Amino acid sequence: MVDFGGWELPQQYTSIRDEHFAVRKAAGLFDISHMGRLVVEGGGALAYLQHLLTNDLGALGAGHAIYSQMCKEDGGVIDDLVVYRETEDRFIVVVNAANREKDIAWMRKHLSGEAALEDRTAELSLIAFQGPRAHALLPPGSSDTEDIPYFGFRSGKVAGAPALISRTGYTGEDGFELFIASDQVGEVWDAILAEGKSSGVLPAGLGARDATRLEAALRLYGNDMDETVNPYEAGLGWTVKLGKGDFIGHDALAAVKQNGPKRSLIGFKTASGDIPRHGAAVIHDGRRVGTVTSGTHSFFLGHPIALALIEVPSFPAGERIAVEVRGREAPAEVVKLPFYRGSARSAVAPAKS
Amino acid sequence: MADRRYTKTHEWVVVDGKSVTVGITDFAQSQLGDVVFLELPSTGRKLAMRESFGVVESVKAASDLYSPVAGRVTAVNEKLTANPELVNSDPYGDGWILKVELAGDLPADLLDEGAYKKVTEASAH
């Protein structure tokens, strides 16, 4: 067990390698109840969230979710989050565990008009069933999910229990995130594992979650960005909609967009055994040009992979660089992101930012 | 195995005369998670007690390996080059790491199984 934002979570249930392969080949079941779940509702809820967030919720219909940044006035990222529009004036905001209290404080400070904010993290559990076969392997007593589009969600049932079934995830694979009452989630968890056991479904821990999200180049707050990094630097400019009207950080971000970001997030790979770690120097022509933000050994791809924040101008795919590993310079090669494109219908950001 | 002894830093040793086999404990491998690479010394290298002799890279982190004894490296487990996961699957058997020819005495602070168990229970939380 490791401490993760105050929650005890398993790094692995059995083996990170086996769990990682289960997610890529069949499906893995993750307990992500540590993520913060906040409800924003009221006649002013939409206007309030539009003011807080960089992405545009204006066209978001009920039953659809959207990925956004929440930024400071200077454009630094406070958190990245997913907003689910349940009804015209009711939203669920899922935030990072380690940021929940900070986010709530920030959101309360800016609360105005007819909007109420409530922390529902404890009573509503969240599990993620992710993999190319997740859809096919939902247990008996589950709603038909065929018509749920990517980033769409519906109220329904999973293994007989009422659930909010969302076709979202953090692995690059097709699958679901399931909001279930905490007193029923244990039975649903067991039913999914029982149904999927013979097909290779495994419970998956933080290790497999980190490896799969990194292969899909999905950013991890606290590693790949924080309050000193703006969305354009993190390659998330597509989540900033400057034209939607004013929001916190708008002017700073407009200036970044106009002048171009000073740093850029890139992906690279190294030889087996040379695992780049968060904070390691990235070197080119003998000069430090950036810092590793995330790195791991990808069992699935068979070599280590990493993301790094690099000063611009950045490097094209194929460029040879070096990275500090165990006190020496290890050779590395810049590669196109994502490292792996899974079964999710669109796990990856649109190419342009 | 009755004659396996442990360090507070989660290495184990089995002593056979002057030959000491060194590995990391089951607790250590479970804390590290899946091991993907080991950087190990060449045979013949002389190690001081507590000297760092290599690195174990797991998915989670790179961790230094420390020699529980002083001596000369007589063998390294070549199987770990191709199969580093042996450290996870069989830490006290095929996942052994080094053999060292002991120079001088064994350190006095090696732990027996019961004492080591208390160390792991204290650091498990």
Beta-ladder partners of B16 = B19
Residues A277, B39: C-beta atoms closer than 8 Å: no
Contact with chain A for residue B34, Cβ under 8 A: yes
> Which residues of chain A are within 8 Å of residue B85 when distances are taken between CB atoms?
17
Tell me the CATH number for domain A220-335.
2.40.30.110
Domain ranges (residues) in chain A: 2-214, 220-335
Identify the residue whose tokens are 């018509």: A147
Sign of CA dihedral A312, A313, A319, A324: negative
Mutate to test the interface with A, among B30, B38, B39, B59 (most CBs of A within 10 A): B59
Residue-by-residue DSSP string for A63-121: TEEEEEEEE-TTS-EEEEEEEEEEETTEEEEEE-GGGHHHHHHHHHHT--SS-EEEE-T
> Which residues of chain A are within 8 Å of residue B27 when distances are taken between CB atoms?
none
Mutate to test the interface with B, among A3, A9, A11 (most CBs of B within 10 A): A11
Beta-ladder partners of A330 = A323
Query: Strands A303-311 and A263-270: what pairing?
Result: antiparallel
| CA dist A61 → A64, A90, A152, A245 (Å) | 6, 11, 9, 19
> Which residues of chain A are within 8 Å of residue B37 when distances are taken between CB atoms?
272-273, 275, 297
* Nearest-CA distance A340 → chain B (Å): 18
CA distance A153 to A155: 7
CA distance B35 to B62: 10
pLDDT at B124: 62
The gap from C-alpha A61 to its chain's centroid, in whole angstroms, comes to: 21
Predicted ipTM of the assembly: 0.72
Mutate to test the interface with B, among A4, A7, A17 (most CBs of B within 10 A): A17
Tell me the CATH number for domain B4-105.
2.40.50.100
Query: Strands A202-203 and A28-31: what pairing?
Result: parallel
Q: Indicate the SS3 state at residue B50.
A: coil
pLDDT at A123: 86
Residues A275, B85: C-beta atoms closer than 8 Å: no
Please give the sequence-ordered ranges of beta strands (E in DSSP) within chain A, or none if there are none.
2-4, 7-9, 28-31, 36-41, 64-71, 77-87, 90-95, 116-119, 124-130, 153-158, 161-166, 175-181, 202-203, 263-270, 281-284, 287-298, 303-311, 320-325, 328-335
Residues B34, A296: C-beta atoms closer than 8 Å: no
> Which residues of chain A are within 8 Å of residue B57 when distances are taken between CB atoms?
273, 275, 297
Q: Which among B36, B55, B88 is the nearest to A297, CB-wise? A: B36
Residues A17, B85: C-beta atoms closer than 8 Å: yes
What distance, in Å, lies between the first and last C-alpha atoms of chain B?
Answer: 27
Quick one: tokens of A66? 């959207």
Identify the residue whose tokens are 């030959």: B19
Quick one: tokens of A9? 């979570």
Residues A326, B37: C-beta atoms closer than 8 Å: no
Q: What DSSP element (H or E) covers A254?
A: helix A250-259
CA distance B11 to B120: 12
* Nearest-CA distance B107 → chain A (Å): 29
* Nearest-CA distance B63 → chain A (Å): 10
pLDDT at A9: 80
Residues A326, B39: C-beta atoms closer than 8 Å: yes
Residue ranges of chain B with per-residue pLDDT less than 70: 1-2, 124-125
CA distance A29 to A176: 10
A313: cis peptide before it, omega within 30°?
yes
CA distance A68 to A49: 10
Residue B23 and residue B12 in contact, taking contact as beta carbons nearer than 8 Å: yes
Q: What DSSP element (H or E) covers B28?
A: helix B26-32
Q: Which among A16, A272, A277 is the nearest to B34, CB-wise? A: A16
Q: What angle do CA A204, A205, A208 make, to 5 degrees?
A: 75
Q: Give the total residue count for chain B.
A: 125
> Which residues of chain A are within 8 Å of residue B59 when distances are taken between CB atoms?
16, 207, 210-211, 296-297
Residues B57, A275: C-beta atoms closer than 8 Å: yes
Pick the CATH number of A2-214 from 3.30.1360.120, 3.40.50.1360, 3.40.190.10, 3.40.50.920: 3.30.1360.120
Contact with chain A for residue B93, Cβ under 8 A: no
pLDDT at A353: 32
Contact with chain A for residue B88, Cβ under 8 A: yes
Domain ranges (residues) in chain B: 4-105
Q: Which chain B residue lies closest to A275 (C-alpha atoms)?
A: B57
Q: Mind listing the pLDDT tens digit of every residue in chain A (353 residues)?
A: 566 667 778 888 888 999 999 999 999 999 999 999 999 999 999 999 999 999 999 999 999 999 999 999 999 999 999 999 999 999 999 999 999 999 999 999 999 889 999 999 988 899 999 999 999 999 999 999 989 999 999 999 999 999 999 999 999 999 999 999 999 999 999 999 999 999 999 999 999 999 999 999 999 999 999 999 999 999 999 999 999 999 999 999 999 999 999 999 999 999 988 999 999 999 999 999 999 999 999 999 999 999 999 999 899 999 999 999 988 999 999 999 999 999 887 544 443 33
